[in-house]
Chains A and B, each alone.
Chain A
């Protein structure tokens, strides 16, 4: 009876939220990054990956364009740019 109510762990990844972005997306400049990890820590979509300097990036399939990563980057190495400018 309960079988159909049990969902597969992490299956929300089927639900691509990238199209939620209305105007801006982040651009990881990869010039001054010190690998502090803060962008990854704050991203509400768990969609930033990276390890080591100038290696961090985001997944456009899930990013909602909130701008938190750019706001928190101590090196201003992330910029919010117009969606169609990349």
Chain B
């Protein structure tokens, strides 16, 4: 076993991107960390009572309130005079973050707690059987956005949660991806070095819910970034300080390896809509390689 704070024997599906990313995050944060975790796959597969995969203190809250519980933990640690020694991470899935936990997250950001919030974005409620969330992409086939003769899947685009977090005026916001492990770990280390509330949203493929082969997890995550569908951005003090630049690939390359988008392959007009989402991201964030960069690449 390599030295890690996230141990073998957890019960995630084979090839789970969230289990990859969770280990990268805690190993970057280090042993002096307390985790507060919303309900969701990560909490369920890492803490099968009476066992735990974690090598750090870990508190399971409810589905919606890791940010609130972490706020209490941070206040207690401050009171004990240990604020400088201990990192606090609140973490949750996309449903726990963008939907039911958004209010708790907003409160945590507004009150200025010194906490890193990590959202593991697998783009649906996976633990309960692939229901859509506010972070499910447009046209995705989920159990609550099913495909049929008049439906091409999820009706709405992803909620801009990183921008919502940024609008709170917090010092650090970033998007990251399981497909870029070193970049993810660098962002976690950077976030922890900054005082105040931080938000990192990590794109984590779910072979079960996205219906791709288990050995494609890293590839699928990379393709999301390389098509412009999942821009990797960093904001420092509310201004974009870095982005990963790409030579954009067509979105079909990303869509065609996933069962959740299979229904689109015979619908060029729908693929065009998704290409437009990617093109808008590329323009909005200046993702194309030729364009001038603001600061060193992410």
Contacts and interface: CB of A to CB of B under 8 A. Distances in A.
A70 B216 CA distance: 10
A77 to B, nearest CB: 15
Contacts of B51: 7-8, 11-12, 14-15
Interface in A1-57: 4, 7-17, 20, 40-49
Interface string B1-31: 1101011111110111101100110000000
B56 interface: yes
Main secondary structure of the interface of A (DSSP, over half): loop
Contacts of B8: 12-13, 17, 45-47, 59, 61-62
B15 A47 contact: no
* Size bracket of the B interface: 35 or more
Contact of B15 (A9, A12, A61, A67): A67
Given A64-B14, A66-B14, A7 B215 contact: no
Contacts of A10: 7, 52-55
Interface in B199-245: 207, 213-219
A81 interface: no
Interface residues of A, number: 35
Contacts of B181: 41-42
A66 B215 contact: yes
A59 B4 CA distance: 15
B250 to A, nearest CB: 21
A77 B17 CA distance: 22
B11 A68 contact: no
A10 B6 CA distance: 7
B152 interface: no
A71 B48 CA distance: 29
B9 A17 contact: yes
Interface string B122-160: 000000000000000000000000000000000000000
Nearest to B8: A62
Contact of A46 (B4, B213, B215): B4
A9 B54 contact: yes
Nearest to A4: B50
Contacts of B55: 9-10
Given A7-B49, A71-B215, A62 B9 contact: yes
A70 B15 contact: no
Nearest to A45: B8
Contacts of A9: 52, 54-56
Interface in B47-100: 47-56
Interface in B168-207: 181-182, 207
Contact of B215 (A41, A49, A68): A68
Contact of B14 (A20, A40, A46, A48): A20
Interface of B: 1-2, 4, 6-12, 14-17, 19-20, 23-24, 46-56, 181-182, 207, 213-219
Interface of A: 4, 7-17, 20, 40-49, 59, 61-62, 64-68, 70-72, 80
6 contacts: A7-B51, A15-B48, A17-B9, A44-B15, A44-B17, A44-B23
